[in-house]
Structure 1
Amino acid sequence: MKDEIDSNTPDLFVHLEASGEMPEGHELNAAPPELSEPPEPPAPPEEAVAVEEPHDDLADYAKAAYLAYAMAVSKSRAIPDVRDGQKPVQRRILYAMREMGNESDKPHKKSARIVGDVIGKYHPHGDSAVYEAAVRMAQDFSLRYPLIDGQGNFGSLDGDSAAAMRYTEVRLTPIAQLLLAELDQGTVDYRQNYDGSFQEPTVLPARLPFLLLNGASGIGVGIATEVPPHNLREVCEVAACMIESPAFSEAQMLDMIPGPDFPGGGQILSSNQEIRNAYSSGRGTIAVRARYVFEEMARGQWQMVITELPPGASAAKVLSEIETLTNPQPKLGKKSVDQGQMQTKTLLLSLLETARDESDKEQSVRIVFGPKSSRIDRDEFARTLMAYTSLETTVSFNLVQVGLDGNPMQKSLFTILTEWCQFRIKTVEKRLGHRLGKVNERIHILEGRHTVFLNIDEVIKLIRESDEPKQALMERFALSERQADDILEIRLRQLSRLEGIKIEQEIAELMKERGKLESLLANPTRMKALVAREIREDAKKFGDDRRTLILQEKRASLSEAAVLDEPVTIILSEKGWLRQRQGHGLDLAALSFKEGDMLFAAHECRSPDALILLASDGRAYTVTASQIPGGKGDGVPAASLIGLQAGTRVISLLTGAAQDKVLLSSSGGYGFVTTIGDMSSRQKGGKLLMTLEDGERVLPPARVPSQGLCYVACASSSDRLLVFPLAEVRQVPKGRGVILMGLGDKDTLKLVSVFTGALSVKGVRRGRAVEDAVRFDVAKRARMGTTINMKIEVLLGGEAQK
């Protein structure tokens, strides 16, 4: 569902907000700088009072109010911020734990205590929502770099839920300090909580881009996000390079970040180009597969062991899928298991002997599959399991986040990192400025103390004798009010000679630090170098090796999964029923059909073949021969397997290699050459191959021989015959084609054949069935041909009838 959400919706939010169309009381963040405020509309004349229809006012208000609500939900609940990578509930949990002193070097605290503090002070929502968010932040199989250290049962990869919050305990992990460490250094703004009794940060001063490190997933109103996790070392090195070099390009970034790095490992099958496209557009999908090994056993036996799983998969889920496939139940509304389910059951049971979960504390993932026989091909065995279970899955990219402009928007990976780098530079600038202010304030205090130390006797006498000692000190020694207050508050022991030496030393050190801070703030290049150095130091401390292997391989698909490869005959009835019979050379006369039905066509192929069904409206559909039911029944309607259009029927069955050529034609006299590959379609609704005029229909296709000089034979309904070279017909993937045969009024094209040798015609002459070899003259395409002295029923020639 998330992949279906229109990522352009936020543009409408921005437009309404920037244009001032939001209703009063629903104001959002200011529009981005590039959006200029529209001019004030001119006031209407006093005598011209515009009266709008009530329903227009209500519609406008409802639209604006709903968009404001959608924006509020997206920003305050569902969509993470690009700066710290957290949703509001996650940010509040981390901040509350820090305020409680629940840090990585302190004892664990009860989860219920944390949850109560969060909902009581910052997040007035349900306790279950807060606890579930905290649980996810503690799960090492959900987050690449967990932010909470949990003690107790916090769930499992198999879908087991966490224990109640009264039983579990939590504290921050060391890496969480990278989000919280600079909170007290003037780096971020604070705002009042929901009731104005506490202050909370608007964002955390993240030292690293946690949005990409841990990823994010969420659904708002009209917008969703799906950001996969990445490796800390790779992302940090890119961020450091971007900060150091303004010329750093997106291509360089894509070379340094090969792809996501999931907590559970696995293997990414997609090509580098597919991953790059997803990163560049901010949207896409990649294929991820479980990692496995084959373990050798006694007497030549072997078993397949899954050691890593893709996102969203678990041992329990995989074994449940296998149980469902090998012990199928009738589908909803059906009384019995259908043929496809039985074929899947037969296939899996022919390959798989045992399936068990041997995961434990030492091996978090160990799923063992035993084959039916050691002679089974190992790659085929693995490919079949991947195709039918969640051992191979698709991971979506939808890089949506609340950007620096305060609006949720889908952006490329390069843009996300660029915005985070801007935020980090600004944060460090604020930190240095805050520290410079503290240093100047301390120097100011120490200078006052030093003045007192040099004039201690006079200061003591002045304080003893003056009615207003503060004012007297300020006037006598040119002190500020802050210095005078400090002098009056210090203890006498701080005026000793030793303390005086310490004051001078501290002033010297602070003056040196002030010089460095001023130099950094005045030199953007040096400050960026500092930011990049800090990022690399954090990466060195917290980074680890990549877990997810990136190796392009072909995805396992149901159509390519192992099937029992055997000869089969596909039978199509006059009323459009399909069935399968094992073997070739069947006695078709012995087949039985429903009352009023009869044989229309039979096609010999093999069970794994892709079968193309050509319909009378010019559409082509593709199914695997093994998907067509077998047994002794009458089969199933073709419309139950393909999206056959109303009022149409299947007129031909085809199989072959993708490069095999076919001549398609219509009763209107048009045609073109195409290939089996161009006729294939993965969609149930098929693909439109031939464009028809009203009243026209598609004729049975004619195979094009692979060798030899080919000719086309066309027969019209008026029993005229035309032969011309196939080279005169264009090859196109689809369309209407060219004129094959000229037709008179009320005449239609009846039969088309492609041949290389002699041409024979079957038909009726004087009431008798005859078959004659035809001596023909090769003409030009689009001619009307010559009359044949028989009613033409079949054209036979060359390889055309294969």
Structure 2
Amino acid sequence: MSEPAPEGEIRDTRLADALSERYLSYAMSTIMSRSLPDVRDGLKPVHRRLLFAMQQLKLDPKSGFKKCARVVGDVMGKYHPHGDASIYDAMVRMSQEFAVRYPLVDGQGNFGNIDGDNAAAMRYTEARMTEVAMALLDGIDQDTVDFRPTYDGEESEPIVLPSNFPNLLANGAAGIAVGMATSIPPHNVGELCDALKHLIKFPNATIDKLVEFVPGPDFPTGGELVENRDAIVEAYKTGRGGFRVRAKWEVEDLGRGTYQIVITEIPYQVQKSKLIEKIAELINDKRLPILTDVRDESAEDIRVVLEPRTGKVEAAMLMEQMFRMTELESRFSLNMNVLDAYNTPRVMNLREVLAAFLEHRMVVLVRGSNFRLGQIERRLEILGGMLVAYLNLDEVIRIIREEDNAKQVMMATFKLSDVQAEAILNMRLRQLRKLEEMEIRTENDALVVEQTALNTLLNDEELRWKSIAGQINEIKEKFGQKTEIGKRRTVVGDAPTAVIVPLEAMIEREPITVVCSQKGWIRAIKGHLSDEQVKDIKYKEGDKERYTLAAQTTDKILIFATNGRFYTLGCDKLPGGRGHGEPLRLMIDLPNDADITEMLVHVTGRKLLVASDSAHGFIVPEDDVLAQTKNGKVVLNVSPGAEATSCTIVPEGADSIAVIGSNRKIVIFPIAELPEITRGKGVILQRYKKGGGAVLRDAKAFTLTEGLSFPFGSGWRTETDLLRWQGKRAGAGALAPRGFPTSNKFA
């Protein structure tokens, strides 16, 4: 019987320690190798490996296309130990003109579209690199960057690309790591080149100055940047912020006072199909009643048509509402969290990102120059040996023909190095002609001149910066604003002013009758009902009529409760007339110990008289009682044990206030003695005998010359001789006239 295999090392450790150690390893792997881009070339490992693999396959812009499956296979097999789907998805995005400002992959076949449709399978599509990708790889075979072994140790891959193109800011980046994320919008490379050249001249340039060159992002889908400049500067200063982008639109006149709106560009990373679905859904739900239809007439260019219901509404007002309710306006966040040259993740500002790119270009220039110097030295050594051979051609031939160890003899005779002697021995007979000697001398002289220039460059920092500026000029000339790809697509606009969109414009205006029962069930019946129709309204068993108000669907209903709060309801949100409606307490946060005092249709500019049963009250502008939340708005502060009992409209031109208590006494005083405030307890309106238990029942504003009206029998009575009740505020008053309602109410 064979012995069991020896067990591995077993260590006792706390679960928390084991978890934290392993999770930290996972987190660092996600941050370094998956989610955050390198500030120098703006690429994540998968993108860098894709471009390097395509370069190894010689897929430059002038060569033919190769199947994407071939590229993905090479990347997965040699460099990137992950699934083929993730690699192909990254490759597809690098080729999409609506997703990447300067595509790195030139795709042939179906690579998806702005509607969100997926690309065809990798076996059907083909690809090669673009000129931008070639600029990123420029000089990679000249020892400009470090290489590391691949995951299986069989080959090597670049740690970073030479990047003769400011790719991080030009194409942007997005990613979510563990505990951190990055979000960088694309920018215009011509503007970046201007900012880089300025930073070379003035290394301590302020962000404000750099923003003059880089006014904001330049998205591949265009649109209009509507962020405030101060906010843009602040975002670039801190490396965190956001940019608001709006769709571009234009008005097409259809004649006879009608028009249609055509959207030609939509915000970045907004799927056109989902945008249109959202607009159609809003139209169907009658949340955009001003629109009748939305159509997609897009071909290669975007053309989304909006049809207004009427030509009377201004297009700008309509679009303002569209921006609020749809993704025609979106916000792209800025979080310049990147890996620096030492693989440390940190948030950089605009100047730091640009400076990091310039420092990388300086390192690439120095390393590339040293590599070239090494090549020149080796070539000059070989050329020097060849010139010696030409000067002593007969002797060299004799040595080769007669000596057994010709190489050693030549090295000793002419003081040649091993490399020079080997080069002479490898010469072909045709190279012995006179013309070849002249070409070698010419090449030798040219290399000496180049060697001198490179040594001068390496010894002069100012000259190196001048060389880098020249490279940046070449990039600008190739991809700048004067080229087709480099034209700015996103218009830099002004921050939008607050446009007030009237509710009537967005809600279909229809007449309704608002019905609220004694037990607080509310509904909206279509049309303005007559008195006979109101009498025919059915209520729940044991319930009856309390309020019926003629209104429009665009109106607001004001509800004044015994707790001194005003609540606001939009008529368009009331339940329909079928059935008995819904409990009002479900629509507003009305406490159980509070009840409705008054309900009325809001009219802008009107004033209200509010009072509590403790006989305190004041006048309040109706516009100031509108509540924004279900919790309502406190207007009248009521004392403990007291309730708000009265809320009446102050007629225009009213000059007097009439107040009646439960003791049936009326006092009339000038309206000027009552303050107009927006919130408070108010002043005393009427004084009652202590211990008598009398409370205020009602208050009313009216015009003294027109008399005081009150219900009388089945009609109304107007009392014009009011001298016996007139006095000052807080007076006791006199008994109400004969026939005054027993409810002690003026209405």
Query: What TM-score, normalized to structure 2?
Result: 0.75
Alpha-carbon distance, 1:453 to partner: 2.8
Counterpart selection for 2:373 from 433, 439, 457? 439
Alpha-carbon contact 2:61-2:128 (below 8 Å) kept: yes
Please give the secondary structure, in 2, of the residue aligned with 1:156.
coil
Identify if the C-alpha distance between structure 1 residues 707 and 163 changes in structure 2 by more than 3 Å, giving closer, same or farther: same
Query: What TM-score, normalized to structure 1?
Result: 0.70
Identify if the C-alpha distance between structure 1 residues 612 and 131 changes in structure 2 by more than 3 Å, giving closer, same or farther: farther
Counterpart selection for 1:562 from 506, 517, 526? 506
Structure 2 letter corresponding to 1:545: K
Greater Cα offset, 695-704 or 75-84:
695-704
Which residues of 2 match residues 464-543 of structure 1 at below 5 A? 473=411, 477=415, 498=435, 501-543=438-480
Alpha-carbon distance, 1:171 to partner: 0.7
Alpha-carbon distance, 1:693 to partner: 11
Alpha-carbon distance, 1:194 to partner: 1.8
Distance in 2, Cα, partners of 1:748 & 1:230: 75
Q: Confirm or deny that 1:357 pairs with 2:301.
A: no
Q: Which residue in the other structure is 2:575 paired with?
A: 629
Q: Confirm or deny that 1:580 pairs with 2:557.
A: no
Alpha-carbon distance, 1:230 to partner: 2.6
Alpha-carbon contact 1:608-1:625 (below 8 Å) kept: yes
Alpha-carbon contact 1:380-1:561 (below 8 Å) kept: no
Alpha-carbon contact 2:620-2:676 (below 8 Å) kept: no
Q: Which residue in the other structure is 2:222 paired with?
A: 265
Distance in 1, Cα, partners of 2:591 & 2:459: 72
Q: Which residue in the other structure is 2:131 paired with?
A: 174
Alpha-carbon contact 1:450-1:504 (below 8 Å) kept: no
Identify if the C-alpha distance between structure 1 residues 318 and 741 changes in structure 2 by more than 3 Å, giving closer, same or farther: same
Counterpart selection for 1:103 from 60, 68, 74? 60
Q: Confirm or deny that 1:406 pairs with 2:364.
A: no
Please give the secondary structure, in 1, of the residue aligned with 2:174.
strand
Alpha-carbon contact 1:262-1:547 (below 8 Å) kept: yes
Alpha-carbon distance, 1:249 to partner: 1.9
Alpha-carbon distance, 1:308 to partner: 2.6
Please list the CA deviations of residues 19-78 of structure 1 after superposition, one character each: whole Å capped at 9, or x if unmatched.
xxxxxxxxxxxxxxxxxxxxxxxxxxxxxxxxxx98xx4335534543543343243223
Distance in 1, Cα, partners of 2:596 & 2:301: 52
Which structure would you say has the larger Rg? 2
Counterpart selection for 1:426 from 357, 360, 363? 360
Please give the secondary structure, in 2, of the residue aligned with 1:217.
strand
Structure 2 letter corresponding to 1:628: L
**Structure 1, unaligned runs of 5 or more:** 1-52, 328-340, 764-768, 779-784
What count of residue pairs does the alignment treat as equivalent? 701
Q: Confirm or deny that 1:283 pairs with 2:241.
A: yes
Please list the CA deviations of residues 68-91 of structure 1 after superposition, one character each: whole Å capped at 9, or x if unmatched.
433432432233333322232222
**Structure 2, unaligned runs of 5 or more:** 1-11, 481-485, 712-716, 737-741
Greater Cα offset, 233-242 or 312-321:
312-321
Q: Which residue in the other structure is 1:608 paired with?
A: 554
Alpha-carbon contact 2:411-2:421 (below 8 Å) kept: yes
Q: Which residue in the other structure is 1:366 paired with?
A: 303
Structure 1 letter corresponding to 2:77: G
Q: Confirm or deny that 1:777 pairs with 2:728.
A: yes
Q: Which residue in the other structure is 1:379 paired with?
A: 315
Alpha-carbon distance, 1:166 to partner: 0.8
Q: Which residue in the other structure is 1:253 paired with?
A: 210
Alpha-carbon contact 1:83-1:420 (below 8 Å) kept: no
Structure 2 letter corresponding to 1:291: W
Structure 2 letter corresponding to 1:777: K
Alpha-carbon contact 1:474-1:484 (below 8 Å) kept: no
Counterpart selection for 2:333 from 394, 397, 415? 397
Please give the secondary structure, in 1, of the residue aligned with 2:329.
strand
Alpha-carbon contact 2:174-2:182 (below 8 Å) kept: yes
Alpha-carbon contact 1:712-1:726 (below 8 Å) kept: no
Identify if the C-alpha distance between structure 1 residues 593 and 537 changes in structure 2 by more than 3 Å, giving closer, same or farther: farther
Alpha-carbon distance, 1:527 to partner: 3.0
Counterpart selection for 2:489 from 547, 551, 561? 547
Distance in 2, Cα, partners of 1:86 & 1:632: 62
Alpha-carbon contact 1:158-1:314 (below 8 Å) kept: yes
Alpha-carbon distance, 1:608 to partner: 3.1
Please give the secondary structure, in 1, of the residue aligned with 2:476.
helix
Alpha-carbon distance, 1:115 to partner: 1.0
Distance in 2, Cα, partners of 1:195 & 1:394: 44
Identify if the C-alpha distance between structure 1 residues 611 and 406 changes in structure 2 by more than 3 Å, giving closer, same or farther: farther
Alpha-carbon contact 1:761-1:794 (below 8 Å) kept: no
Distance in 2, Cα, partners of 1:719 & 1:59: 78
Please list the CA deviations of residues 274-294 of structure 1 after superposition, one character each: whole Å capped at 9, or x if unmatched.
555555552335142242441
Q: Confirm or deny that 1:133 pairs with 2:75.
A: no
Distance in 1, Cα, partners of 2:375 & 2:267: 55
Counterpart selection for 2:142 from 185, 190, 208? 185
Identify if the C-alpha distance between structure 1 residues 386 and 511 changes in structure 2 by more than 3 Å, giving closer, same or farther: same
Alpha-carbon contact 1:579-1:628 (below 8 Å) kept: yes
Q: Confirm or deny that 1:113 pairs with 2:49.
A: no
Structure 2 letter corresponding to 1:509: A
Alpha-carbon distance, 1:211 to partner: 2.8
Distance in 2, Cα, partners of 1:76 & 1:174: 26
Distance in 2, Cα, partners of 1:703 & 1:524: 84
Alpha-carbon distance, 1:530 to partner: 3.1
Please give the secondary structure, in 2, of the residue aligned with 1:246.
coil
Please give the secondary structure, in 2, of the residue aligned with 1:150.
strand
Which residues of 2 match residues 677-696 of structure 1 at below 5 A? none
Distance in 1, Cα, partners of 2:636 & 2:444: 89
Q: Which residue in the other structure is 2:8 paired with?
A: none
Alpha-carbon distance, 1:159 to partner: 2.5
Distance in 2, Cα, partners of 1:533 & 1:701: 81
Identify if the C-alpha distance between structure 1 residues 652 and 206 changes in structure 2 by more than 3 Å, giving closer, same or farther: farther
User: Identity, % of aligned pairs?
Assistant: 32
Distance in 2, Cα, partners of 1:408 & 1:666: 64
Alpha-carbon distance, 1:756 to partner: 9.0
Distance in 2, Cα, partners of 1:174 & 1:609: 61
Alpha-carbon contact 2:61-2:130 (below 8 Å) kept: yes
Alpha-carbon contact 1:616-1:649 (below 8 Å) kept: yes
Please give the secondary structure, in 1, of the residue aligned with 2:506.
coil
Q: Which residue in the other structure is 1:85 paired with?
A: 42
Distance in 2, Cα, partners of 1:67 & 1:701: 67
Greater Cα offset, 561-570 or 583-592:
583-592
Identify if the C-alpha distance between structure 1 residues 468 and 647 changes in structure 2 by more than 3 Å, giving closer, same or farther: farther
Identify if the C-alpha distance between structure 1 residues 466 and 271 changes in structure 2 by more than 3 Å, giving closer, same or farther: same
Structure 2 letter corresponding to 1:172: M
Please list the CA deviations of residues 242-297 of structure 1 after superposition, one character each: whole Å capped at 9, or x if unmatched.
33322422222334434333323233445445555555552335142242441547
Q: Which residue in the other structure is 1:227 paired with?
A: 184
Identify if the C-alpha distance between structure 1 residues 527 and 96 changes in structure 2 by more than 3 Å, giving closer, same or farther: same
Alpha-carbon contact 1:226-1:399 (below 8 Å) kept: yes
Alpha-carbon distance, 1:359 to partner: 2.8
Structure 1 letter corresponding to 2:263: I
Structure 1 letter corresponding to 2:66: K
Alpha-carbon distance, 1:397 to partner: 0.9
Structure 2 letter corresponding to 1:308: E
Q: Which residue in the other structure is 1:35 paired with?
A: none
Kindly report the root-mean-square deviation, in angstroms, between the aligned alpha carbons of the 2 structures.
5.3
Alpha-carbon distance, 1:634 to partner: 3.1
Identify if the C-alpha distance between structure 1 residues 672 and 83 changes in structure 2 by more than 3 Å, giving closer, same or farther: farther
Distance in 1, Cα, partners of 2:623 & 2:412: 94
Alpha-carbon contact 1:79-1:225 (below 8 Å) kept: yes
Q: Which residue in the other structure is 2:9 paired with?
A: none
Alpha-carbon distance, 1:531 to partner: 2.5
Structure 2 letter corresponding to 1:191: R
Distance in 2, Cα, partners of 1:161 & 1:585: 56
Distance in 1, Cα, partners of 2:410 & 2:370: 30
Identify if the C-alpha distance between structure 1 residues 555 and 288 changes in structure 2 by more than 3 Å, giving closer, same or farther: farther
Distance in 1, Cα, partners of 2:212 & 2:651: 45
Q: Which residue in the other structure is 1:29 paired with?
A: none
